[in-house]
Amino acid sequence: GAVVSQHPSWVICKSGTSVKIECRSLDFQATTMFWYRQFPKQSLMLMATSNEGSKATYEQGVEKDKFLINHASLTLSTLTVTSAHPEDSSFYICSAKGPYEQYFGPGTRLTVT
């Protein structure tokens, strides 16, 4: 099946710094990618839809200036958490829309100290 990778798989950063997470579709082109956030013992919550070559659309309550999304190519979308705070600590998961289904990445564990 199609493969989506995320990098890094985990990251620890200090409060106030920025962190970039990459999401790549390895064997197919994805014009649309999605970013989700998952807190412990909770489900996935959609943060934003990333479309190649255009601005991302954010779900209600998600700050677009804090979570910067760039979909620079058909195989790469990046999420940058700016001025991270401890409450941003979470599991971030991306998915890429393939020809038949959404393919999920393995997730990135972000811990802000």
Partner 1 sequence: TQLLEQSPQFLSIQEGENLTVYCNSSSVFSSLQWYRQEPGEGPVLLVTVVTGGEVKKLKRLTFQFGDARKDSSLHITAAQPGDTGLYLCAGTYDSWGKLQFGAGTQVVVTP
Footprint of partner 1 on this chain (CB under 8 A)? 4, 6, 32, 34, 41-46, 49, 59-60, 91, 93, 95, 97, 101-102, 104-107, 109
Q: Which is nearer to partner 1, 55 or 83 (CB)?
A: 55
CA 108-69-112 angle, 5° bins: 40
How many CB atoms within 10 Å of residue 75? 19
CB of 47 to partner 1, least distance (A): 11
Q: Which is nearer to partner 1, 86 or 99 (CB)?
A: 99
Q: Which is nearer to partner 1, 30 or 84 (CB)?
A: 30
E-only strand ranges, the chain: 4-7, 10-13, 19-25, 32-38, 45-51, 57-58, 67-73, 76-81, 90-97, 102-104, 108-112
Q: In degrees rounded to 5, what are phi and psi of residue 30?
A: -125, 110
Q: Which is nearer to partner 1, 31 or 83 (CB)?
A: 31
CB of 16 to partner 1, least distance (A): 26
